[in-house]
């Protein structure tokens, strides 16, 4: 973390060729409301949590800036697990024909009553005739068997257990973060974001202090954005980069990732994935720069592949639907930050062969769109007048 990732993924451009960078990278939208508050906060935190401000330099308790990425990775796993559980629940209800319950007719003043266990039936036995009692027990037994068979086929109970386990771990992680003293503005923002996400994820609570807490989170986002380091503050003085050299660097990352995956040993899947993600950023950066996108805008994307892809598609980059969906998933699931800060959750990431396939397609399509071949000199880019 000692080196800035921005200097690696997007080298600085010669000041004489472009307008100066503004004081901040504009990534926070002007309007922040309930629809985008939590997503804007998470994007800001993902980009700022690795900045050097407030970084631990002495032994001591784990700081909030190291806790938040791990908690956020757990929370995203919880959201995924909930979606899977809900999907399986719908399939289970359809296949089993409803919940494993039985209906007792003519029970006192209540009429028909649904029961979920044999204990419920036994408690009402005195109010039922023998035939109804026998039919209710048979119905419950039949429905339970059908539910159990469908559950075993679909794996619903396992999904419920996994969701509960991840939710418990995320809850513990969040509560520990709440009691940890912050050392910077961005850490205060991280704690408040975690609090709101865990207690009001839908932003629907109207009783105090929830509206006030949401307003405070907006204020902290604005303050943190104003304090964002300048883009050129991450640059290495004296080095300039054009489209050709960015493509060359992307190829080097891609080749390094491919070599790590060769042979029977496959030394380090995490390193291979990280190199591949860097290569994706660089290919998209080169395309956007060649199409006239301002370097400041590209810098402001940080590690968001989805934003880069959307703008690249609008500028004429044609990718397969599956690749577009994968690039969006990489950003939505924060795979870059998980692989860097929460490696223990690597099993939740997309398949590595899918990652390499996406890199390969970006390499082909970007070079084709810019009319560049791997055999060309690194400084040449037909159709682009920008040179190093």
- 325-334: average pLDDT: 85
Q: What is the DSSP letter of 354?
A: H
Q: Which two tokens stand for residue 367?
A: 């070079």
Q: Per CATH, which fold does 6-25+235-369 belong to?
A: 1.20.120
- pLDDT confidence of residue 300: 76
Share of the chain above pLDDT 70, in %: 77
- 204: Cα within 13 Å, side-chain hemisphere: 2
Q: Is the pLDDT of residue 383 over 80?
A: no
pLDDT at 5: 38
- In DSSP terms, 107 is beta-bridged to 111
User: pLDDT for 205-215, tens place per residue?
Assistant: 999 999 999 99
Nearest 5°: CA angle at 325, between 312 and 69? 95
Q: What percent of the chain has pLDDT over 90?
A: 34
Q: With cut-offs at 50, 70 and 90, classify the pLDDT of residue 314.
A: confident
Helices (H), 51-154: 64-96, 118-123, 130-154
- Predicted pLDDT at 265: 52
Average pLDDT in the 316-345 region?
A: 83
Can you tell me the mean pLDDT for 341-348?
70
Mean pLDDT, residues 193-197 taken together: 95
Q: Model confidence at 373, in pLDDT bands (50, 70, 90)?
A: low
pLDDT, mean of residues 194-213: 92
Question: What is the Cα–Cα distance from 39 to 307, expressed in whole angstroms?
Answer: 13
Please give the C-alpha separations between residue 42 and each of 72, 109, 221, 259, 378, in angstroms, as whole numbers.
9, 54, 10, 34, 37
Nearest to 214 by CA among 187, 234, 195, 232: 195
Split at pLDDT 50, 70, 90, the class of 175 is very high
Which band of pLDDT confidence, cut at 50, 70 and 90, is reported for residue 162?
very high
Confidence of residue 224 (pLDDT cuts 50, 70, 90): confident
For residue 335, pLDDT over 70 is answered with: yes
Residue range 265-313, pLDDT digits in tens: 555 688 888 898 999 999 999 999 888 888 877 887 788 888 899 889 8
**Which tokens go with 27?**
């990534």
N-terminal to C-terminal alpha carbon distance within the chain: 28
pLDDT averaged over every residue in the chain:
78
Handedness of CA 319, 324, 276, 3 (dihedral sign): positive
Torsion sign over Cα 42, 340, 325, 77? negative
Q: Following DSSP, what letter does each residue of 242-260 receive, concatenated?
A: -HHHHHHHHHHHHHHHHHH
């Amino acid at each position: 973390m000692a080196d800035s990732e921005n200097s690696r993924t997007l080298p600085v451009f010669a000041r004489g060729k472009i307008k100066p960078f503004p004081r901040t990278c504009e990534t926070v939208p002007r309007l922040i409301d309930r629809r985008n508050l939590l997503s804007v906060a998470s994007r800001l935190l993902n980009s700022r949590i690795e900045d050097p401000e407030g970084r631990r330099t002495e032994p001591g308790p784990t700081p909030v800036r190291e806790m938040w990425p791990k908690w956020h990775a757990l929370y995203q796993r919880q959201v995924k697990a909930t979606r899977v559980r809900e999907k399986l629940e719908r399939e289970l209800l359809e296949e089993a024909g409803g919940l494993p319950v039985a209906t007792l007719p003519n029970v006192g003043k209540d009429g028909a009553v649904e029961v979920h266990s044999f204990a419920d039936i036994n408690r009402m036995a005195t109010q039922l005739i023998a035939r109804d009692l026998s039919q209710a027990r048979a119905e419950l037994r039949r429905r339970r068997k059908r539910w159990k068979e469908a559950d075993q086929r679909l794996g619903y109970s396992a999904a419920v257990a996994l969701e509960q386990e991840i939710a418990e771990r995320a809850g513990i992680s969040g509560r520990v973060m709440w009691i940890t003293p912050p050392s910077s503005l961005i850490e205060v923002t991280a704690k408040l974001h975690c609090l709101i996400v865990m207690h009001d994820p839908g932003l629907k609570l109207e009783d105090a202090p929830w509206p006030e807490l949401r307003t405070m989170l907006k204020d902290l986002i604005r303050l943190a954005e104003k304090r964002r380091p300048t883009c050129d503050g991450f640059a290495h003085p004296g080095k300039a980069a054009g489209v050709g050299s960015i493509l060359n660097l992307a190829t080097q990352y891609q080749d390094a990732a491919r070599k790590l995956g060769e042979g029977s040993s496959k030394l380090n899947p995490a390193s291979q994935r990280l190199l591949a993600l860097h290569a994706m950023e660089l290919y998209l950066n080169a395309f956007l720069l060649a199409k006239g996108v301002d370097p400041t805008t590209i810098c402001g994307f940080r590690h968001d592949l989805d934003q880069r892809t959307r703008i690249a598609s609008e500028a004429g980059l044609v990718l397969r639907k599956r690749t577009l969906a994968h690039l969006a998933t990489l950003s939505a699931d924060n795979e870059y930050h998980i692989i860097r800060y929460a490696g223990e959750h690597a099993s939740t990431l997309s398949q590595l062969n899918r990652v390499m396939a996406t890199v390969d397609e970006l390499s082909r399509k970007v070079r084709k769109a810019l009319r560049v071949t791997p055999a060309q000199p690194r400084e040449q880019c037909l159709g682009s007048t920008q040179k190093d």
